[in-house]
């Protein structure tokens, strides 16, 4: 009897030990699985690519404001660092040093940089078309021919405004000797010169045209340079391309998916700005591109902000650069870019 009880107790003890062992094993397995899930979650977390983007304080930056806002809120695909500059020189330095990966710059500057950097940059898209206007208090200055003998104040010697004016003068039988050109470093200086009567007419891009007219009620738009350009193009129909987006080729080769993600987000941002002008104007003011949202709201529809990539971009940009090349080779860096200048995804 005692033997039977002892045997029964030993069996119960064995079963008890077995259950305890299983319980311990199950607990250990659960803990291990939990650790694995946590580890997997960390491993599978998407690592955003850092993309440094530079743009000019003007229309090119306006097209990016929605993306800038989304990036600040952590909603963008990539990890963006945005940098705005008043002139293209600052952006060029960043590209040359590798401090910037993508830059939104004047169209002819892209060709010049391509030649100087031996093909180390590519154009992703056109971000801005014609944004240039003649501003004056003189209502009689409504044609290119009427500029003869006049003093014209403008920004950026050797940049898009300068080259556009030279081309239009030439097409109307005039040269720079027939007018007096005064170059200023900033748009504010152009406005000041006009207000003081130091010039007959000023050549300005949007959104500075809207700002200038708001500051001086005597000033008004007397010529749309995009219309003037289109009139002399005839069958050629080369578009007046103001701004393009370039990328360092090395960065593109190493981060193709991130670059194409940027292109898609840039396109979405451009669409947002054009379709939601009031909201976009608030962002423009918030970022300091234009001081006041009401002015930005007036300027945005006139800024010709766009997004054109692929073959359409190549045709429009190559046509524009060819016009500049025929006028003066130095305007595009001495020679026209090769096909690899244009990124065709």
- Spatial CA neighbour of 281 closest among 341, 210, 217: 210
Ordered DSSP codes for 39-103: HHHHHHS--PPEEEEEEETTHHHHTTHHHHHHHHTT-SSSEEEEEEESSHHHHHHHHHHTS-SEE
DSSP strand pairing (151-155 vs 121-128): unpaired
Torsion of CA 187, 193, 194, 195, to 10 degrees: 110
Q: Is 6 contained in some domain?
A: no
Q: Is 31 contained in some domain?
A: no
End-to-end, the C-alpha distance of the chain in Å comes to 89
Helices (H), the chain: 2-44, 59-62, 65-72, 88-97, 107-116, 160-171, 187-195, 208-215, 225-233, 249-254, 256-275, 277-286, 293-299, 310-327
114 and 163 in a single domain? The answer is no
- Spatial CA neighbour of 86 closest among 157, 191, 156, 135: 156
Give the C-alpha separation, 183 to 190, whole Å: 8
Domain span holding position 220:
134-233
337 and 245 in a single domain? The answer is yes
Q: Say if residue 232 is exposed, middle or buried (CB neighbours under 10 Å; 0-12, 13-18, 19+).
A: middle
Give the C-alpha separation, 229 to 112, whole Å: 22
Strand order from edge to edge, sheet including 243-248: 79-85, 50-56, 102-106, 243-248, 121-128, 305-309
Global pTM reads 0.81
Q: Is 28 contained in some domain?
A: no
Tens of pLDDT along the chain (345 residues) come to: 444 444 444 443 443 433 334 444 434 433 444 444 444 444 445 689 999 999 998 888 999 999 999 999 999 999 999 999 988 888 999 999 999 999 999 999 999 999 999 999 999 999 999 999 999 999 899 999 999 999 999 987 877 889 899 999 999 999 999 999 999 987 778 878 887 878 889 999 888 898 888 888 889 999 999 999 988 886 666 789 999 999 999 999 999 999 999 999 999 999 999 999 999 999 999 999 988 999 999 999 999 999 999 999 999 999 999 999 998 999 999 999 999 999 998
Does the bond joining 207 to the residue before it have cis omega, within 30 degrees of 0? yes
72 and 121 in a single domain? The answer is yes
84 and 120 in a single domain? The answer is yes
84 and 221 in a single domain? The answer is no
Q: What total number of domains does the chain contain?
A: 2
228 and 142 in a single domain? The answer is yes
């Amino acid at each position: 009897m005692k033997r039977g009880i002892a045997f029964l107790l030993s069996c119960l003890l064995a079963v008890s030990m077995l259950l305890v062992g299983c319980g311990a094993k199950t607990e250990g397995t659960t803990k291990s699985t939990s650790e694995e899930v946590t580890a997997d979650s960390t491993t599978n977390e998407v690592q955003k690519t850092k993309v440094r983007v530079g743009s000019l304080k003007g229309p090119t930056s306006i097209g990016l404001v929605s993306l800038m806002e989304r990036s600040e809120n952590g909603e963008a695909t990539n990890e963006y660092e945005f940098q705005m500059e008043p002139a293209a020189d600052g952006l060029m330095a960043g590209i040359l040093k590798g401090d910037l990966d993508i830059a939104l710059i004047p169209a002819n500057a892209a060709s010049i940089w391509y030649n100087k950097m031996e093909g180390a940059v590519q154009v992703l898209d056109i971000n801005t078309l014609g944004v240039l206007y003649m501003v004056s208090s003189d209502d009689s200055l409504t044609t290119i021919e009427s500029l003869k003998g006049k003093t014209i104040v403008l920004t950026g010697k050797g940049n898009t405004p300068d080259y556009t004016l030279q081309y239009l003068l030439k097409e109307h039988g005039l040269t720079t000797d027939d007018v007096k050109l005064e170059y200023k470093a900033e748009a504010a200086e152009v406005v000041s010169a006009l207000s003081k009567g130091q010039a007959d007419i000023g050549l300005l891009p949007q959104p500075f045209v809207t700002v200038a007219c708001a500051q001086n009620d005597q000033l008004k738009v007397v010529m749309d340079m995009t219309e003037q350009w289109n009139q002399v193009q005839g069958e050629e129909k080369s578009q007046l391309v103001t701004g393009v987006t370039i990328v360092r080729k090395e960065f593109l080769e190493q981060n193709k998916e991130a670059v194409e993600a940027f292109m898609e987000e840039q396109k979405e941002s451009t669409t947002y700005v054009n379709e939601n002008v009031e909201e976009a104007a608030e962002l423009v003011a918030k970022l300091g591109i234009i001081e006041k949202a009401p002015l930005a709201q007036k300027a945005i529809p006139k800024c010709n902000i766009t997004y054109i990539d692929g073959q359409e971009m190549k045709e429009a940009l190559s046509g524009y650069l060819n016009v500049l090349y025929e006028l003066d080779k130095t305007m595009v860096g001495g020679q026209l870019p090769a096909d690899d200048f244009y990124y065709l995804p």
